[in-house]
Amino acid sequence: MRSGREIDVFSEFQRKRIIKIINQHLDEYKLDLGGLVIYTEAASGYYLFTPLICAMAGAKKIYAITRDSSWGTAEEIKTVTNEFARLWNLDGTIEVVLEKYPEHVSQSDIIANLGFVRPIDTEMISWMKETAVIPLMWETWEFRPAEIDLGACKEAGILVMGTDEHKIDFIKYAAYLVWKILFEYNIEIYKNKFFIFTSDPLAKIINEIFYNNKIEYCWTSFDECIENQYKPFFINRNDKESILTYISQCDVVICEEKSHNTCIIGDNGIITPTELRDANDSILLILRSGVVDYKRMKELGIEIYPDSNPVMGHSTICSYHLGPRTALELNIAGLKVGEAMARARLSGLSLRTAAIQAMKYSPAMDFQGDFSWIENASL
């Protein structure tokens, strides 16, 4: 779903399904943005619907920022957003803007951490009112410092919280996404053999889908605590010989590692690219996330899919690839976190108490350690 007449890219069936999914999750999360001003993005694909969701949830005003990108021009996205707003009888509250204006940010109760809104830097934070909140829109362990100046938020008293994907049973999509990627590359899964590099929280759900479907696999991890149920399939990461022996019999190696910024396949990794190639020169590497020597593996002719080098904390393909429900539900859940935080702060609650309240009434997720709102009693 790329640039151009996006409104025409969605078939009538897709539009009906999308609005049905939105209404299901608006009802499930009881999202009510009545009286609140939202600062979000206007984008393409399924992210096109974020400002429309805000309007459907009763937001008082929505500023939706967009800009030119590889997915379409800003003017195209603005046109399509406004067309959908008219089609769904939502025009009047959504204002698509092409630049960040202090007066828009300063009015906003919820500033969503989404693509075109970022970076949320010191200057942008200085424009926010003291009760403004920022929903991270995903889990806090996935936080990327280049996108939000969390220190400046703390200093300014701007509450930032993530979305607990375990609370909404969302994290399981990652396992199904791995399977979709395999099917796309004509890997049948059944009667194939896999070796998997992964760590929690993804390790549990990846193991679960392979184990429950009786697929032949082994795995390793940077984690120290391994669930008893999956120990029979586990090979210690320091046992290189056993890992390479198993890989020599495999059809596919999978890298699904977002928790540890530690090399998996490289000169300083668990195995080297040359060792992987020498163990099995017909292996397919499914590379969704993790630190690897991508360049060297390409030089050695190792087959990689998706053929892209992931940045730490990012995935080559995200859950969006499965279909509209993943993107729509996660954004609605994130906006619910924003709603709970905003109403708590607007009622006069302290940062710490507002964070506790948000966790009680939404799928909010706190940070750990120094950036925790709840553990820091001074807040």
pLDDT at 224: 87
Q: 151: which 2 tokens? A: 């220190």
CA distances from 363 to 29, 58, 307, 334 (A): 9, 20, 34, 8
CB 147 within 8 A of CB 113: yes
Q: In the predicted model, is pLDDT for residue 86 greater than 70?
A: yes
pLDDT at 3: 40
The closest alpha carbon to 159, from 346, 28, 30, belongs to 346
Q: How confident is the model over 305-334, as a mean pLDDT?
A: 89
- Cα angle for residues 284, 237, 261 (degrees, 5° grid): 80
283-293 pLDDT tens trace: 999 999 999 99
Count other C-beta atoms under 10 Å from residue 199's C-beta: 21
127-167 pLDDT tens trace: 999 999 999 999 998 888 999 999 999 999 999 999 999 99
Beta sheet of 252-256, edge-to-edge order: 216-220, 193-198, 252-256, 284-289, 303-305
Count other C-beta atoms under 10 Å from residue 147's C-beta: 17
Q: 231: which 2 tokens? A: 């120990």
Binning pLDDT at 50, 70 and 90, where does residue 208 land? very high
Binning pLDDT at 50, 70 and 90, where does residue 314 land? confident
Q: How confident is the model over 41-63, as a mean pLDDT?
A: 97
Give residues with Cβ within 8 angstroms of 363, minimum separation 6.
163, 164, 165, 167, 168, 333, 336, 337
CB 198 within 8 A of CB 254: yes
Q: How confident is the model over 112-133, as a mean pLDDT?
A: 97
Catalogue all structural domains in the chain, each as residue range(s) with its CATH number. Answer: 6-165+323-371 (3.40.50.720), 188-320 (3.40.50.720)
Q: How confident is the model over 238-258, as a mean pLDDT?
A: 97
CA R_g for the chain: 22
Q: What are the b/e assignments for 29-51, b being 16+ CB within 10 Å? A: bebebeebbbbbbbbbbbbbbbb
- For residue 88, give the DSSP letter: T
Q: In the predicted model, is pLDDT for residue 214 greater than 90?
A: yes
How long is the chain? 379
Q: In the predicted model, is pLDDT for residue 1 greater than 70?
A: no
